[in-house]
Structure 1
């Protein structure tokens, strides 16, 4: 298959612009950002490369068609008009998933049944048969209806892209890998700067940083449902994986520091880092946050501290924010990035953030507070946009950051 395809990268809400930039960096400049997804153009090889390389997207899908529908008759008829045979072989397994938001058609279960029936009717005519065994390769179909507009896609990923394969054990409130990668991409951190995560938990931020710093493709050690599709030449997958091997960077010049007061979590984080193949890039310590101060200059803190909805009591969280402010604010040449769902973080921390961005962590609306320190002298001539996406500043936009 050599023609250009319309593809979709599914994202967490708040990460659309980050994923659009990832796609442009991969060589796919034609992007359209929508809520929870980014559309882009690419050939069959793009399906392979984006599945392997996208750090912040949840999955990659192929667009089969799009139309308006306000009743099930319209849904059935227009689904039947789409060229399903271009994708579904006669023995294809094609489960149908559906969701509907603010639409007249609002029963996902009935949508699934109607779409499945419509596709079968189309394939009966094309393949001249009445029954389909569905014992071949899987082509998961997704139906998304938003404000009566129906988008029909086929999922090319399988298990979500956040499932890198290294995280065998997690703590009680794990941060999704794709979100952790986005926090890093929205920071000033790069492989030549010290990075500290003082609340590392199962190690996700530190591990994702090591993968990013080494330019290790996040999907290099896993498989994808589209690897079995006959529309994609196996050479594309082979070439994409070879490209991933060729682009690996040498070991980090400065080890990442990952700390947590819970020794059990440090043990879990070490095991996950070993599974990810980057254990030597991270220095793990079982230490309380209060031991944070360091004599290193121009470091970065990227942290997802516990907050009331997940761990700890409200009073403990407030005290933690106060302690964080006392320890971090004096580090004037550091940059601090705090991701939390807690209310009143800035007031309790003691300083307004330079930037803030709303990002969903699962179903929880969180805010990413960005305190931007100066660039190291050797980076003074580099543009701030190199590592920091400033295209969207959600929440309040304070023009002059300062202490309360």
Structure 2
């Protein structure tokens, strides 16, 4: 099968990380855009990106992109696309999507027109007039923005941040893809030591361990494209074997998680076990007021509780003040802290050496990095 234009969607601010990791996977024609990264590939690259991407939210096949000012234009252009490459005659193909600032503003009407166009195309290709849609599901997605329609197929199914290890979670957990990004920004390596003094469900610790050991985040889950009638099972098997072979079992990585809530510590241990990194993660019930470390080097990475999530603003700022007292400038130590509070640096007690704007769900945050002595 010829190469396709593929799309990795991501949280705003992570486009560069996604582009870099795709290039490291030997994927070609990588092109970062706003909230997504385009690249080229066939089913092997689809499998590789789904299994191995730490920072992407979803991998899509871009079937086509075109201007659509009328339902006739939408229908005609969708019908031209090679749907038979991906949709079998028994496959279900639900259509979902959204429109923004476009003449075609009715989502139900757009869904109906796109569905009808795909049916008409497949009628001609399969020489049948009725589709049972009783087999695997090939999910068609559309985005019509400023009158330009992008028509895509979802290959991931459940979002890629769902690694499979976090069935239960503490209150307001950080998204796995964002935790992985913080580990990357902290330059976590196979020999690193990581501390999270607000470990919650253990997401930052686990994502740091997966990165340090080079464990692909999607190794323990399945993807919707694997179930398609056209799926190349050999490609998926080969990519899983490739990811398995790349695991660095000699890595010396260790992580330490503290939390004032005993239930959070239990959740961390449970999730670490499911992720296969329990031997690398050590936990203890401990308040930030009692924070200390005798490690010669460590990266402190954390998502402290804040007013919009768990506490009132005053309580959150009291925690920031305590962090500033405990997170001292030390040789071999770095601090990576995410917060939506614009006054964080003032309350923490010193300006960050570097800042990066990211989103934790729908909340705009800054990642504050301290590493200078």
Deviation string 1:77-116 (CA, Å, 9 cap, x unpaired) is: 2111212122211111111110122322223232212211
3-state SS of 2:26 partner = coil
C-alpha distance in structure 1 between counterparts of 2:122 and 2:242, whole Å: 37
1:212–1:254 Cα change, 3 Å: closer
Question: By how many angstroms is 1:282 displaced?
Answer: 0.3
Q: Is the 8 A contact 1:356 1:369 kept in 2?
A: yes
Alignment of 1:3-402 (within 5 A): 3-250=2-249, 252-331=251-330, 333-373=332-372
TM-score by length of 2: 0.96
Query: Aligned residue for 1:398?
Result: none
Q: Is the 8 A contact 1:214 1:252 kept in 2?
A: yes
Question: By how many angstroms is 1:52 displaced?
Answer: 0.7
Q: Is the 8 A contact 2:99 2:144 kept in 1?
A: yes
Give unmatched runs, 5+ long, in structure 2. Answer: none
Give unmatched runs, 5+ long, in structure 1. Answer: 375-404
Deviation string 1:173-213 (CA, Å, 9 cap, x unpaired) is: 01111111111112233221221011100000001111111
C-alpha distance in structure 2 between counterparts of 1:252 and 1:50, whole Å: 23
C-alpha distance in structure 2 between counterparts of 1:82 and 1:142, whole Å: 14
Q: Is the 8 A contact 1:251 1:281 kept in 2?
A: no
Deviation string 1:30-51 (CA, Å, 9 cap, x unpaired) is: 2111121100011221011111
Question: By how many angstroms is 1:254 displaced?
Answer: 4.2
Q: Is the 8 A contact 2:212 2:253 kept in 1?
A: no
3-state SS of 2:62 partner = strand
Superposition RMSD on alpha carbons, in Å?
1.5
Greater than 6 Å deviation, 4+ residue runs: none
1:353–1:107 Cα change, 3 Å: farther
Number of aligned residue pairs: 373
Question: By how many angstroms is 1:219 displaced?
Answer: 0.7
TM-score by length of 1: 0.89
Deviation string 1:322-376 (CA, Å, 9 cap, x unpaired) is: 11111113335411100112231111111111221111121111111111246xx
| Deviation larger for 276-285 or 333-342 | 333-342
